[in-house]
Every structure is written in structure tokens, then in C-alpha cells.
Amino acid sequence: MDNLESDSLPTEVILTHPRRSLGSICFDWTPQPGHYLDLQGQTYAVLERRHRYQLKSGRYRLYQISLYVQSADRPQERSLVDGRWVLGDATCQFNAHSELVRCAVNPEGPCGQCRYYEPKNTQQSN
């Protein structure tokens, strides 16, 4: 499959709850889980990306892309970890290092002034 084929393929955006299609859109970028996108004045978090392939002339070809999203506010607190953005303060030992979940003890945040904050132990214990 060449890149032009996937770039020109409309992506169906599906709201997870209540489940309904928000329409098909041709993106000029590749939204992945953990990314945020704005549609019709609303911000959505991408939860899942699915590709469907079709066997045609002995080759599988991408014929449908679906993004499953939920309504969300863009996070104000993010940390760059290994080249990707994660929610919250990644220096806390409770941080999930996830694009979708901040942490178990304070999932709604904010991290600043959190009473559960504990710096990550960077030393290896033997």
C-alpha cells in the first residue's frame, strides 16, 4: 500500500458514548490513541484507531479507518517522556505514563500541589 492511498482515505470518527458516528473526515495528519482533535467546536480524545482491510486482486488493501473518540478537555499538564506526551507530571511515581490516564490516586488532576505527589525513585534498589 502506498502512502497516498491511506492519506486520501476518509476516516470515520465514532463517539464511544453515546455511540454514534461524527462523520468521515480526511485528516492531513495521523491521529493515534492519546491524541486530541477538534471537530465542530468540540474537543475529543482518541481512544482507539482501527484499520479494516479488503482482499483485492490477491493483495490486502486498506479500505476503512475508524477512530473511536470521547469528549474531553485538552489537558493542561503534560510531560514529554521518550518522545511522546503523557498526561500529568511524569516525575511522580504514581504517574501512569499514559496519553489517556494521568494516575490512579488523582486521575482528574491537577498534579500541581497534589497531596499524593511522590518523586520517582531514580536509584535502583538491590
Confidence of residue 19 (pLDDT cuts 50, 70, 90): very high
Cα end-to-end span (Å), the chain: 50
DSSP 119: B
User: pLDDT tens digits for 72-86?
Assistant: 887 778 787 887 778
- Residue 78 sits at the vertex; the CA angle it makes with 73 and 84, to the nearest 5 degrees, is 110
User: pLDDT tens digits for 49-68?
Assistant: 999 999 999 999 998 999 99
Residue-level pLDDT at 75: 75
Could you tell me the pTM of the whole model? 0.66
User: Residue 89 pLDDT > 60, yes or no?
Assistant: yes
Beta strands at 78-81 and 84-87: parallel, antiparallel or unpaired: antiparallel
